[in-house]
């Protein structure tokens, strides 16, 4: 299958081979679809149509079903993401303790809207519902790092930790 | 592991690791480790307790450190408290004294009268 | 040699890890090596201990010493002081929120003491990554017992008898669910653990998976045995990477020991478990959606029946329970159904884990017996509300739940009681909210959540929640109408009935419950464009002005003071409040409770700047808003307190002839006769009243309406409208033995007699009864009259005292003692002329309607004391019997005041209006001023309907002082209150000084100018 996506060479055949290996480990069947897509997104960073077609073929599912699943779940994205994903928790507790102000400060600082990615692909900005770290509200998660008791003033310092 | 008894055996074996947290120890040895105590050799006393208790197989005795008891010239001082008994305070406890306290008091249950702080 | 004498347990729950557990661990290890203690001390990381607010937590065993907020830098001190020398490190102790008392042992912390742990039994106790520790805590014994000593039916019976119900939300009986699946004939069945914990604010499942993963594995195996399944799935949120990692490790370890796999315990029973990661869809917490998701489909719900027990995952019989439900199972099997069923209520057995969050001192995870009251969770386990704020409501049950307000704090928490109040148990998210939460905005938040998470399958949910969101958003932004409230209720009904799954059926709950208990907030947003909590920004000039009852334009006068434009500052203030000198001395400052500068160095000292501003001019009557030409209409105001004078001020400005009547010899009401002169010297009362007289307000003192004249006479004299503002100065006298003995005073009359210059004698030992302003004032006056030992007896605790905490503090600074939880039982005369009193001890019992705990007497522990004087100051009310006797048809309220609309002052008689304490009960000066504004407006609208649209205090505007929004905010310390020392106070009259000009400018400069909208 031709590599036609625009990820600047990162989705080479090596990546496909890794995905093949993951799929070879498990029996075919619809119930593998979500784990395979999760793996694919981990490898490619996002799920362009080409990858969805590839997975559909490998699992012997209609492309439309794969597309239906990808678009249903928040976890999957069809757009390339930044190197670091910033998730702002919008759980009740974070909301009550000022998550809105954090979102504003982040968008202003990065000059992107919620859901967007910076031009240099350094950061993507998204929200999530409750990480369960309510004692630390308001909370943001950058990749797998949780930052608690965030204030607009602290934002620049936190972002500087991520290149 | 194939039987419930295997499991129980394993449980009993690993449980002593947790006794400390559940307060299930039979006795407690408190070594006074203020600056004065340490200067008088309380570190060695502490280590002697740990060593002798281990070799005597007394896994159910807690050893803790405490601050200066105020009688600096009597250091190293040690308090031994066996559950449901009155605590006993020993003074000038060196390694030899530790050996006797472990053997006589903690194993045989007899207070080492000549070492007792009075 | 390696004999461990100390174990240090470090909490590695999610919150603690984010606060730095790993670096703390590393620092400990390094210190232990440096002190040669590595062999004696073992560091163990555990799952969540539940007290997330104070993490990272370290507990040192065997003593059980609890250290909070431990940083890497603290490790060395703990090691060298505590572990080496046995000296505990006090500065890292937990402080009891109510008393600030330091607490050393974990077993003494209320938060832990009041809990009963079953589901969380091992969390924070064991290392979740070592199966041996789980086994040491009797882990897998229940499984062994089930497989080798019980039949599947026996297991089912045990679970049924325990009364365990699903902890994920709906509370379906677990035993019945399992039995239904067991009854199905099928060669393949499944056990599914729902770990797609999506309710915002709920994190007990995460905590169990991270802290005690084996308990879930063991329970699933037991379930598999009971129903005849060989395969289990755990569906866990992708957002919980640590839980997934620990589950994976646990599964590997369980397989190695033969606790999962084939022929477990030699019983021939095979069982294995696979983890499935969710992909971020809230609806997948719904069981049919979750199963669709495991099957690789879109996670949309389907109708039930068939229930999963008949046709579940891959169309096979399936039991689906959530994490917490499973975590209870091993204990039930091991200790028997009866022990479990002994906890809780008749229909809600066992315990429930709550994620306690929000405006509460101890946030974290708590496991409490079912049936405990909401108030006990908030106040006893949770430690109450921080920062002297007021409790408003708890939100319980997440987006499907509801808000329960203060009057229901006694409600026992059960599956049955919560739905009666419009909430649900749900998964156990419990968010405590204080007065700063806007309930309309909260409803909007949940609607936004639901609208976004609706999977779209059912139109009523998909479209209906969007429309509801639009309506509530409109209300929040000041565009709502009263019809919108009806539409919200209609739509709620429609969505409830027309949705397939629990998400849709419960989606309207947050709106319905806030409408039920906080309808007045919706109405205030719609009709007055006012958000009391100061959250809905678009209808707010600035948070301080919004919070001020009189809506004083705080940013404007502060900005002008900063520019030394004192006349402009005063002019701005006088638009909304003609008493800057008085308020500059006694205002309790509602404004600063919402001051945004509070997040930085502390709120503005608004009152001090106000006082400075007011002191700049001897007379500022020339700075009042422009006075309109006389319109020939006469209005009588009865009562010359701040409410009456404010009404007269505005009526005079609007061209009316306003005459104020008062029965006292001088005008001012409570300003003159109740507030002591050390807080408010009389010259400032005189100054502002003289200004009003200069404006044209006529004041007639020594006229007692009801005696010297009547309302009817006033009407006959040509007064076209009457404003009643004669306050609440009538003392409440308790029915107490000895109340009339000489030497016993009542608070208000004591204050009034002192104010009138009477030389009241007090002896050296004085006891004051009460907790309000007049009790504190009376105690401080007693000291100024020569008393030396002054004790205030208050029947509740400090946090319930109705007076301003600053006043209590000042009384204490002067040497007065407050004894809490005490009350007086009787006063008896002694032969030596002194008094003997009975002092009763109280304790706090159930919650009253205001959300405060009702004091109740502890019998048999009363004591006797000998004192010289007793001052009873337990409250005041109105007494307008003589005015009402006029026969004008006015209605008395239950407090002896006049029944009137609190917002407009309208009474049952068209030309009579009422306001101030007379209507509201005893309140603050600034509230009385606000009442005066409302009264003036209502009278103007009555006498000159439709003439005016705007009033001087309305529509505050930004001052013409520029703001540079890009300027960096520097740290500037707030000005300190220039209070005299207790010794100086007994010589000088006023206890506080005016701040200096540079201090005033500097303080004013701290204002963040929240009025600036760019």
ipTM associated with this complex: 0.83
Decide if C49 is inside a domain.
yes
CB atoms within 10 A of CB A24: 9
Q: Name the burial class of residue C284, with classes exposed (0-12), middle (13-18) and buried (19+) by CB atoms within 10 angstroms of its CB.
A: buried
Same domain flag for C212 and C316: yes
Residue A4 is predicted with a pLDDT of: 47
Which 201-230 residues of chain C touch chain A by CB within 8 A? Answer: 201-203, 206-207
Same domain flag for A88 and A153: yes
Distance CA C295, CA C314 (A): 7
Decide if B3 is inside a domain.
no
Same domain flag for A110 and A138: yes
Q: Is the pLDDT of residue B71 over 80?
A: no
Decide if B8 is inside a domain.
no
Distance CA C973, CA C465 (A): 47
Q: For chain A, report the end-to-end CA distance as a whole number of angstroms.
A: 33
CATH number at residue C150: 3.40.50.11540
For CA atoms A91, A94, A95, A99, the dihedral sign is negative
Q: Is the pLDDT of residue B10 over 60?
A: yes
Query: Residue C268: closest CA among chain B residues belongs to which residue?
Result: B2
Q: For chain B, report the end-to-end CA distance as a whole number of angstroms.
A: 54
Decide if B67 is inside a domain.
yes
Q: Does A129 touch chain C (CB under 8 A)?
A: yes
Same domain flag for C257 and C292: yes
Interior angle at CA C907, CA C905 and CA C913, nearest 5: 50
Domain boundary among the residues C404, C437, C470 is at C437
Decide if A2 is inside a domain.
no
- Tokens 């019809």 correspond to C483
Decide if C840 is inside a domain.
yes
Tokens of B100: 């006797």
Q: Does B45 touch chain C (CB under 8 A)?
A: no
Chain B residues close to C3, C-beta within 8 Å: 50-51, 53-54, 63
Distance CA C322, CA C315 (A): 20
Q: How is chain C split among helix, strand and coil, in percent rounded to 5?
A: 40, 15, 40
Same domain flag for C680 and C710: yes
Same domain flag for C94 and C168: no
Decide if B13 is inside a domain.
no
CB atoms within 10 A of CB C151: 11
Decide if A8 is inside a domain.
no
Question: Which of A101-110, C32-41, C866-875 reaches the highest mean pLDDT?
Answer: C866-875
Same domain flag for A22 and A67: yes
Distance CA C449, CA C463 (A): 14
Domain boundary among the residues A72, A95, A123 is at A72
State the chains in contact with A (3 or more Cβ–Cβ pairs under 8 Å). Answer: C
Mean confidence (pLDDT) of chain C: 92
Same domain flag for C745 and C853: yes
Q: Is the pLDDT of residue C910 over 60?
A: yes
Strands (E), C316-383: 318-322, 351-358, 364-369
The count of CB pairs under 8 A between chains B and C is: 105
Which 28-87 residues of chain C touch chain A by CB within 8 A? Answer: 51-53, 55
Tokens of B59: 């896994």
Mutation site, B13, B50, B65, B77, interface C, largest C CB count within 10 A:
B65
Across C103-119, average pLDDT: 84
- Tokens 């009193």 correspond to C837
Distance CA C418, CA C422 (A): 7
Decide if C964 is inside a domain.
no
Tokens of C108: 């003494």
Tokens of C292: 């669709």
Which 4-63 residues of chain A touch chain C by CB within 8 A? Answer: 29-35, 37-38
In tens, the pLDDT along C665-684 reads 999 999 999 999 999 999 99
CATH number at residue C491: 1.20.1440.230
The count of CB pairs under 8 A between chains A and C is: 129
Chain B residues close to C266, C-beta within 8 Å: 2-3
- Domain of B65 in residue numbering reads as 25-115
CATH number at residue C396: 3.10.20.600
Decide if C755 is inside a domain.
yes
Distance CA B54, CA C146 (A): 37
Tokens of C787: 């008393």
Tokens of C33: 């090596």
Q: Does B72 touch chain C (CB under 8 A)?
A: no
In tens, the pLDDT along C343-372 reads 999 999 999 999 888 888 888 889 999 999
> Cα-flanking dihedrals φ and ψ of residue C808, to 5°?
-60, -45
Please judge whether B18 and C136 are an interchain contact, meaning their C-beta atoms are less than 8 angstroms apart: yes
Contact C556, C1008 (CB under 8 A): no
Query: Residue B24: closest CA among chain C residues belongs to which residue?
Result: C62
Same domain flag for A90 and A154: yes
Question: C116 Cβ partners below 8 Å, 6+ apart?
Answer: C343, C351, C367, C368, C369
Chain C residues close to A74, C-beta within 8 Å: 279-281
Same domain flag for A63 and A127: no
The widest CA-to-CA distance across chain A, in whole angstroms, is: 51
CATH number at residue B76: 3.40.30.10
In tens, the pLDDT along C403-441 reads 999 999 999 999 999 999 999 988 888 989 999 999 999
Least confident of A126-130, C423-427, C686-690: A126-130
CATH number at residue A25: 1.10.10
Decide if C618 is inside a domain.
no
> Cα-flanking dihedrals φ and ψ of residue C150, to 5°?
-125, 155
Tokens of A28: 């075919």
Query: Residue C449: closest CA among chain A residues belongs to which residue?
Result: A129
* Measured CA distances, C851 to B3, C384, C602, C796 (Å): 55, 11, 28, 13
Contact C925, C903 (CB under 8 A): no
- Domain of C259 in residue numbering reads as 131-341
Alpha helices in C365-455 (DSSP H): 374-375, 417-420, 439-453
Domain boundary among the residues C897, C924, C943 is at C943
Q: Does B31 touch chain C (CB under 8 A)?
A: yes
In tens, the pLDDT along C34-68 reads 988 888 898 988 888 878 878 899 999 888 889 99
Q: Does B20 touch chain C (CB under 8 A)?
A: yes
Q: Binning pLDDT at 50, 70 and 90, where does residue B22 land?
A: low
Q: Is the pLDDT of residue A9 over 80?
A: no
CB atoms within 10 A of CB C189: 23
Q: Is the pLDDT of residue A26 over 80?
A: no
Across C681-694, average pLDDT: 97
Contact C673, C695 (CB under 8 A): no
Domain boundary among the residues C913, C943, C973 is at C943
Residue A2 is predicted with a pLDDT of: 39
Task: Say which residue, C1 or A147, is predicted with more confidence.
Answer: A147
DSSP code per residue over A102-159: HHHHHHHHHT--TT-B-TTSSEEEEEES--S-GGG-S-EEETTEEE-S--GGGHHHHH
Contact C180, C221 (CB under 8 A): no
Strands C698-700 and C429-434: unpaired
Across C542-567, average pLDDT: 96
- Tokens 């991270």 correspond to C210
E strand or H helix that includes residue C468: helix C459-476
Distance CA C269, CA C898 (A): 78
Across C982-1011, average pLDDT: 90
Question: C615 Cβ partners below 8 Å, 6+ apart?
Answer: C581, C584, C994
Same domain flag for C854 and C759: yes
Tokens of C749: 């009359």
- Residue in B15, B21, B37 closest to C7 by CB: B21
Contact C821, C797 (CB under 8 A): yes
* Measured CA distances, C1013 to A102, C538, C559, C808, C959 (Å): 18, 10, 15, 38, 13
User: Closest by alpha carbon to A33, among C208, C112, C296?
Assistant: C296
Mutation site, B2, B3, B4, interface C, largest C CB count within 10 A:
B4
User: Closest by alpha carbon to C400, among C282, C491, C278?
Assistant: C282
Distance CA C797, CA C867 (A): 23
Q: Is the pLDDT of residue C446 over 70?
A: yes
Same domain flag for C806 and C742: yes
Same domain flag for C333 and C355: no
pTM of the model: 0.84
Interior angle at CA C672, CA C666 and CA C678, nearest 5: 140
Across C678-699, average pLDDT: 96
Same domain flag for C797 and C847: yes
- Tokens 């504190």 correspond to C776
Decide if C949 is inside a domain.
no
Q: Name the burial class of residue C758, with classes exposed (0-12), middle (13-18) and buried (19+) by CB atoms within 10 angstroms of its CB.
A: exposed
Residue B70 is predicted with a pLDDT of: 64
Same domain flag for A60 and A114: no
CATH number at residue A96: 3.40.30.10
For CA atoms C980, C599, C364, C129, the dihedral sign is negative
Mutation site, B64, B75, B76, B81, interface C, largest C CB count within 10 A:
B64
Same domain flag for C75 and C87: yes
User: Closest by alpha carbon to A104, among A131, A133, A140?
Assistant: A140
Interior angle at CA C902, CA C577 and CA C924, nearest 5: 45
Decide if A7 is inside a domain.
no
Task: Say which residue, C426 or C271, is predicted with more confidence.
Answer: C271
Distance CA C308, CA C293 (A): 14
Question: C239 Cβ partners below 8 Å, 6+ apart?
Answer: A128, A131, C280
Q: How many structural domains is chain A composed of? A: 2
Mutation site, A33, A96, A143, A144, interface C, largest C CB count within 10 A:
A96
Task: Calculate Rg over the CA atoms of chain A.
Answer: 18
Task: Chain C: give the shortest CA distance to residue A137, in Å.
Answer: 9
Same domain flag for A93 and A67: no
Distance CA A67, CA A62 (A): 9
Across C483-504, average pLDDT: 94
* Percent of chain C whose predicted confidence (pLDDT) is above 70: 100
Q: Name the burial class of residue C21, with classes exposed (0-12), middle (13-18) and buried (19+) by CB atoms within 10 angstroms of its CB.
A: buried
Same domain flag for A58 and A36: yes
Same domain flag for A91 and A129: yes
Question: Which of A39-43, C93-97, C597-601, C830-834 reaches the highest mean pLDDT?
Answer: C830-834
- Domain of A17 in residue numbering reads as 13-72
Q: Is the pLDDT of residue C1 over 50?
A: no
Touch test C–B: 3 Cβ pairs or more under 8 Å: yes
Decide if B108 is inside a domain.
yes
User: Closest by alpha carbon to B18, among C542, C722, C569, C44?
Assistant: C44
Decide if B19 is inside a domain.
no
Mutation site, A33, A72, A135, interface C, largest C CB count within 10 A:
A135
Same domain flag for C245 and C185: yes
Same domain flag for C307 and C216: yes
Tokens of C206: 């995460």
Q: Is the pLDDT of residue C496 over 90?
A: yes
Q: How many structural domains is chain C composed of? A: 6
CA C722 to chain centre: 40
Tokens of B80: 């031994």
Q: Is the pLDDT of residue C690 over 70?
A: yes
CATH number at residue C818: 3.50.50.60
Q: Is the pLDDT of residue C166 over 80?
A: yes
Q: Is the pLDDT of residue C107 over 80?
A: no
Q: Is the pLDDT of residue A6 over 60?
A: no
Distance CA C732, CA C486 (A): 43
Q: Is the pLDDT of residue A133 over 60?
A: yes
Contact C797, C817 (CB under 8 A): no
Please judge whether C86 and B32 are an interchain contact, meaning their C-beta atoms are less than 8 angstroms apart: yes
Give the number of C-alpha atoms closer than 13 A to the C-alpha of residue C972, restricted to the C-beta side: 19
Helix (H, G, I), strand (E, B) or coil at C269: strand
In tens, the pLDDT along C230-267 reads 999 999 988 888 889 999 999 999 999 999 999 999 99
Q: Is the pLDDT of residue C655 over 50?
A: yes
Distance CA C756, CA C751 (A): 9
């Amino acid at each position: 299958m031709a590599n036609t996506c625009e990820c600047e060479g990162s989705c080479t055949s090596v990546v496909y081979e890794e995905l093949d290996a993951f799929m070879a480990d498990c029996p075919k069947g619809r119930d593998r679809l979500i784990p395979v897509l999760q793996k694919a997104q981990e490898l490619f960073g996002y799920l362009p149509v080409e990858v969805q077609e590839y997975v559909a073929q490998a699992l012997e599912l209609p492309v439309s079903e794969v597309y239906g699943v990808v678009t249903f779940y928040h976890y999957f994205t069809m757009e390339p993401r930044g190197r670091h994903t910033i998730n702002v928790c919008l759980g009740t507790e974070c909301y009550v303790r000022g998550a809105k102000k954090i979102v504003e400060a982040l968008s202003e600082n990065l000059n992107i809207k919620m859901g967007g990615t910076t031009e240099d692909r350094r950061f993507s900005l998204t929200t999530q519902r409750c990480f369960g770290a309510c004692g630390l509200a308001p909370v943001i998660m950058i990749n797998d790092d949780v930052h608690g008791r965030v204030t607009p003033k602290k934002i620049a310092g936190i972002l500087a930790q991520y290149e | 592991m194939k039987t419930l008894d295997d499991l129980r055996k394993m449980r009993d074996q690993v449980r002593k690791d947790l006794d400390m947290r559940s307060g299930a120890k039979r006795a407690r040895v408190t070594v006074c480790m203020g600056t004065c105590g340490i200067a008088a050799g309380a570190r060695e006393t502490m280590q002697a307790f740990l060593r002798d208790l281990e070799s005597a197989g007394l896994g159910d005795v807690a050893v803790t450190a405490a601050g200066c008891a105020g009688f600096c010239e009597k250091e190293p001082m040690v308090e031994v408290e066996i559950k449901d008994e009155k605590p006993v305070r020993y003074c000038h406890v060196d390694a030899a004294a530790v050996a006797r306290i472990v053997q006589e008091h903690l194993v045989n249950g007899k207070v080492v009268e000549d070492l007792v702080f009075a | 040699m390696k004999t461990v004498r100390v174990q240090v347990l470090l909490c590695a729950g999610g919150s603690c890890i984010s606060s730095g557990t790993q670096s703390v661990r590393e620092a400990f290890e390094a210190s232990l090596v440096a002190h040669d203690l590595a062999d004696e001390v073992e560091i163990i990381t555990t799952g969540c201990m539940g007290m997330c607010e104070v993490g990272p937590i370290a507990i040192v065993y065997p003593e059980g010493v609890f250290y909070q907020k431990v940083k890497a830098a603290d490790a060395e001190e703990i090691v060298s002081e505590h572990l080496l020398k046995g000296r505990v490190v006090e500065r890292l102790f937990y402080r009891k929120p109510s008393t600030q008392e330091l607490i050393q042992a974990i077993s003494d912390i209320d938060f832990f003491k009041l809990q009963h742990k079953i589901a969380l039994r091992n969390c924070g106790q064991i290392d979740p990554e070592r199966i041996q520790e789980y086994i040491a805590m009797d882990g897998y014994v229940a499984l062994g017992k089930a497989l080798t000593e019980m039949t599947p039916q026996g297991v089912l019976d045990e679970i049924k008898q325990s009364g365990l119900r699903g902890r994920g939300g709906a509370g379906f009986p677990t035993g019945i669910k399992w039995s239904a699946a067991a009854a199905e004939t099928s060669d393949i069945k499944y056990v599914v653990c729902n770990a797609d914990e999506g309710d915002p604010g709920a994190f007990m499942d995460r905590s169990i998976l991270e802290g005690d993963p084996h308990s879930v594995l063991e329970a699933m195996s037991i379930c598999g045995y009971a129903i005849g399944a060989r395969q289990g799935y755990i569906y866990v949120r992708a957002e919980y990477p640590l839980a997934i990692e620990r589950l994976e490790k646990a599964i590997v370890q369980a397989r190695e020991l033969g606790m999962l796999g084939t022929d477990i315990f030699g019983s021939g029973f095979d069982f294995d478990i696979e983890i499935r990661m969710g992909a971020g869809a809230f609806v997948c917490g719904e069981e049919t959606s979750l199963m669709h998701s495991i099957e690789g489909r879109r996670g949309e719900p389907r109708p039930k029946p068939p229930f999963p027990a008949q046709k579940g995952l891959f169309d096979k019989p399936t039991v689906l329970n959530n994490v917490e439900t499973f975590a209870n199972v091993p204990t039930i099997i091991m200790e028997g159904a009866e022990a479990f069923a002994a906890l809780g209520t008749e229909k809600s057995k066992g315990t429930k884990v709550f994620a306690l969050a929000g405006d509460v001192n101890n946030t974290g995870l708590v496991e409490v017996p079912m049936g405990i009251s909401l108030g006990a969770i908030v106040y006893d386990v949770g430690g109450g509300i921080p920062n002297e704020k007021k409790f408003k409501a708890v939100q319980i049950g997440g987006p499907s739940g509801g808000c329960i307000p203060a009057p229901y704090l006694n409600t026992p928490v059960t599956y049955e009681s919560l739905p009666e109040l419009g909430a649900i148990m749900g998964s156990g998210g419990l968010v405590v909210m204080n007065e700063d939460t806007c309930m309309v905005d909260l409803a909007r938040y949940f609607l936004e959540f639901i609208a976004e998470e609706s999977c779209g399958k059912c139109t009523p949910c998909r479209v209906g929640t969007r429309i509801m969101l639009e309506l509530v958003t409109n209300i929040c932004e000041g565009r709502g109408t009263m019809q919108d409230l009806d539409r919200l209720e209609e739509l709620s009904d429609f969505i409830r009935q027309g949705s397939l799954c629990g998400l849709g059926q419960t989606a309207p709950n947050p709106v319905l419950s806030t409408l039920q208990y906080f309808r007045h907030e919706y109405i205030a947003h719609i009709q007055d464009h006012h958000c009391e909590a100061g959250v809905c920004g678009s209808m707010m000039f600035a948070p301080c002005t919004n919070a001020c009852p009189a809506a004083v334009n705080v940013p404007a006068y502060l900005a002008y003071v900063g520019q030394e434009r004192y006349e402009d500052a005063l002019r701005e203030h006088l638009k909304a409040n003609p008493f800057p000198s008085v308020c500059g001395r006694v205002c309790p400052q509602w404004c600063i409770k919402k001051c945004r500068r509070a997040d930085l160095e502390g709120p503005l000292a608004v009152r001090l700047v106000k006082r400075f501003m007011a002191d700049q001019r001897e007379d500022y009557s020339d700075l009042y808003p422009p006075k309109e030409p006389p319109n020939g209409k006469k209005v009588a105001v009865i009562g010359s307190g701040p409410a009456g004078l404010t009404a007269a001020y505005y009526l005079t400005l609007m061209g009316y002839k306003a005459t104020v009547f008062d029965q006292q010899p001088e005008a001012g009401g409570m300003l003159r006769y109740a507030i002591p002169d050390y807080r408010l010297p009389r010259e400032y009362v005189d100054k502002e009243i003289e200004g009003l007289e200069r404006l044209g307000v006529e004041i007639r003192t020594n006229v007692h309406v009801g005696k010297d004249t009547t309302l009817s006479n006033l009407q006959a004299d040509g007064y076209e409208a009457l404003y009643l503002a004669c306050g609440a100065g009538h003392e409440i006298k308790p029915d107490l033995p000895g109340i009339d003995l000489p030497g016993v005073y009542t608070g208000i009359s004591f204050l009034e007699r002192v104010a009138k210059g009477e030389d009241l004698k007090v002896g050296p030992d004085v006891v004051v009864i009460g907790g309000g302003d007049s009790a504190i004032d009376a105690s401080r006056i007693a000291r100024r009259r020569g008393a030396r030992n002054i004790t205030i007896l208050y029947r509740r605790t400090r946090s319930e005292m109705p007076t301003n905490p600053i006043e209590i503090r000042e009384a204490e600074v002067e040497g007065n003692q407050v004894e809490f939880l005490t009350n007086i039982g009787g006063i008896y005369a002694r032969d030596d002329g002194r008094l003997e009193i009975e002092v009763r001890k109280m304790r706090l019992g159930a919650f009253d309607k205001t959300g405060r705990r009702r004091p109740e007497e502890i019998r048999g522990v009363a004591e006797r004391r000998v004192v010289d004087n007793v001052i009873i100051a337990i409250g005041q009310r109105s007494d307008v019997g003589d005015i009402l006797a006029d026969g004008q048809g006015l209605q008395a309220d239950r407090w002896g005041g006049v029944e009137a609309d609190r917002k407009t002052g309208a009474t049952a008689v068209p030309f009579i209006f009422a306001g101030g304490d007379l209507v509201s009960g005893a309140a603050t000066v600034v509230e009385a001023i606000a009442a005066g504004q409302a009264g003036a407006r209502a009278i103007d609208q009555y006498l000159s309907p439709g003439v005016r649209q705007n009033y001087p205090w309305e529509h505050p505007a930004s001052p013409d002082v520029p703001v540079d929004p890009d300027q960096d905010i520097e740290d500037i310390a707030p000005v300190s209150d220039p209070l005299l020392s207790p010794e100086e106070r007994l010589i000088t009259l006023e206890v506080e000084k005016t701040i200096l000009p540079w201090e005033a400018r500097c303080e004013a400069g701290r204002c963040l100018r929240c009025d600036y909208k760019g």
